[in-house]
């Protein structure tokens, strides 16, 4: 067993920070500078408690916006390493920061038929959701450039029965054709695309490119394209950090962006989570007839009550405890 000299230092969450900790063969030393940065991270996480888990990028931009770190690639790498060891050593909960890009897809089955039957009985008639937009005049989709933020968008859009589409860069014609197919099945409604992306050469050009492909190459007319965020105004209103070094001036799109907007390159992740959620909700509700939506919610409530009554009758008929 290796011996270590641990010098405890108090963080702002009241926990002791071990200045030197051995994990297997690796050694991570908490300097006073790193402890200070950890305190700043804990401050951000505490303030945004209701919006956890956050991504590394969201934490980074909150620190940049408060002037705690510089907007540099090296600082992003520093923060990534700091958050890694802070979670390993228990100074930040694993649930506070998540990786929304990588995923685990479970392929496990049931141990036996009894466990399957038990689960199916428990879930009997569970999960009903009424189509709350069936009386609306518009067919709406929320499109987002960043997969890392998609869970936020799904959480806000799902209660409205509005799909979230992650386009991740410049969309292929196959992907856009799938959108065209969805529009065909909803052809008696007015189509609306609510788009959220970075304010940089690619993020700005992406929506234009999709519009061109859909209209001029796939022959889809009548779509209302709305860029909700980021807008140039957002950068100044929320004092979002931007980094001129992120613009590759040799890129054709970058040159056009510089001519139109100057050296403004800002990621959607830079918005505070509460501001982003507010923008999503406001954009959706602006497209809906909220009186019709509320009536559908009341119908859904009645539907659920009827399903519960039926569920109770079925349980009693087969001798199961409904509760």
Q: Which two tokens stand for residue 197?
A: 């992306």
Residue 251 in 3-state DSSP? coil
Answer yes or no: is pLDDT of 280 > 90.
yes
Q: Which residues sit opposite 21 in a β-bridge?
A: 28
- Residues 216 and 243: their CA atoms lie apart, in Å, by 35
Instruction: State how beta strands 190-196 and 224-229 pair.
Output: parallel
Q: Which domains does the chain have, with CATH numbers?
A: 8-96 (no CATH), 138-288 (3.40.1360.10)
- Residues 130 and 120: their CA atoms lie apart, in Å, by 21
Q: How confident is the model at residue 10 (pLDDT cuts 50, 70, 90)?
A: very low
Please write the tens of the pLDDT for every residue from 104-151.
Answer: 777 888 889 888 888 888 888 999 999 999 999 999 999 999 888 988
Please write the tens of the pLDDT for every residue from 206-236.
Answer: 899 999 999 999 999 999 999 999 999 999 9
Residue recorded with tokens 């009186």: 291
Per-residue pLDDT at 284: 98
Please write the tens of the pLDDT for every residue from 23-52.
Answer: 455 678 889 999 999 999 999 999 999 888
DSSP secondary structure string, 130-174? Answer: --TTTT-SEEEEEEES-GGGHHHHHHHHGGGT--EEE--SSPPHH
Contact 262, 230 (CB under 8 A): no
pTM of the model: 0.80
């Amino acid at each position: 067993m290796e011996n270590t000299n641990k010098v405890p230092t108090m963080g702002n969450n009241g926990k002791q920070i071990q200045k030197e900790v051995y994990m297997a063969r690796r050694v991570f030393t908490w300097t006073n500078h790193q402890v200070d940065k950890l305190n700043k991270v804990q401050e951000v996480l505490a303030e945004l408690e209701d919006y956890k888990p956050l991504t590394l990028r969201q934490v980074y931009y909150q620190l940049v916006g408060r002037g705690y770190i510089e907007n540099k690639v090296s600082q992003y790498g520093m923060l990534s390493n700091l958050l890694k060891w802070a979670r390993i050593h228990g100074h930040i909960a694993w649930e506070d920061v998540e990786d929304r890009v990588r995923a685990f897809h479970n392929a496990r089955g049931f141990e036996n038929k009894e466990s399957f039957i038990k689960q199916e009985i428990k879930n009997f008639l569970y999960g009903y959701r009424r189509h709350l937009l069936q009386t609306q005049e518009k067919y709406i989709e929320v499109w987002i450039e960043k997969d890392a933020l998609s869970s936020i968008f799904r959480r806000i859009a799902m209660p409205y029965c509005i799909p979230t589409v992650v386009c991740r860069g410049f969309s292929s014609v196959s992907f856009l054709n799938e959108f065209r197919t969805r529009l065909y099945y909803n052809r008696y409604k007015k189509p609306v695309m609510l788009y959220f992306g970075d304010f940089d050469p690619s993020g700005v050009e992406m929506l234009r490119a999709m519009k061109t492909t859909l209209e001029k190459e796939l022959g889809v007319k009548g779509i209302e394209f709305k860029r909700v965020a980021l807008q140039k105004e957002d950068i100044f209103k929320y004092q979002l950090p931007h980094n001129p070094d992120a613009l590759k001036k040799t890129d054709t799109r970058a040159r056009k962006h510089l001519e139109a907007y100057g050296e403004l390159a800002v990621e959607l992740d830079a918005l505070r989570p509460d501001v982003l959620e507010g923008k999503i909700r406001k954009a959706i509700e602006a497209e809906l007839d909220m009186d019709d939506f509320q009536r559908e919610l009341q119908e859904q409530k009645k539907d659920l009550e009827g399903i519960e009554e039926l569920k109770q009758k079925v349980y009693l008929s087969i001798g199961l405890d409904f509760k």
